Amino acid sequence: MAENELTIKLYSILRDYAGAPLLKVKIEGPVRVGDLINKLLSESEGLRRAVEIVGLENIVIIDGAGKRLNRDSIVAPGTQLHIMPPPEGGSAMIKTGILPKGASVDIMGLVSEASASAPDTGGIGIFIGVVRGVNPDGSRVEKLSYEAAVELAEGKIKEIAETVAAKHSLSFVAAYHYYGDLRPGDITMVIVTAGTSRRKVFPALEEIVERIKHELPIWKKEYYIDGGFAYILGGRKVRPKS
């Protein structure tokens, strides 16, 4: 890639109407994304018509590192950009995963991505679930053992995130759940939502948490300080008979 140009990858209707999957754009230095888009539309009649069909406000722009950009973002020469219409599930940026114990989640990185997910983002909600050391019934927890049907859970958590994002018109959802042996204080779940206001973000956050707890094929087994244990099935504790 030349030092004074950007590579633009186009997808779906944008690619078809522009007549090419790749565009090379020469720039003299760092440029604002909004100005770059205006330049592209002025130089390609086909791309301009496709954007009119999709709606400029619905166009998704992502850099080579996977970060979603807005019209005020600055890009430098040598950057690769992906410009696309909203996917079938909506234009929200979705990040999900079923993670083994010890895998890290960059929570502040997710917050930065959520903040930049749309120009009208006005609120970000965060939920972090942790293992309790003492249950409401007074039982003292040594550890929780989460067993996951990983492939099924990965598909389900993504489905939940996409569905809730569309329902509440969110611009960003990240949802991660851990499995393995977790001890008090360990993180079990990380959820981040972003939208235009708290009235969208908070209800969506709670809905995602509740749906994950009730719909994901993940099973919890509690081990107690006194040596006992119980399976958590359908919201109730099942203790093996002695």
Parse the chain into domains and list their residue ranges: 5-84, 93-238
Same fold, 5-84 and 93-238: no
Q: Which helix (H) or strand (E) holds 151?
A: helix 150-167
The answer to whether the CB of 201 falls within 8 A of the CB of 165 is no
Enter the pTM of the model.
Answer: 0.68
pLDDT value of position 242: 59
The answer to whether the CB of 117 falls within 8 A of the CB of 60 is no
* Rounded to 5°, angle at Cα 116 from 154 and 48: 95
pLDDT profile of the chain (242 residues), mean per 10:
80 92 90 93 93 84 79 89 74 89 93 85 96 93 95 93 90 96 97 94 96 93 93 82 66
CATH of domain 93-238: 3.90.1170.40
As its CATH architecture, domain 5-84 has Roll (3.10)
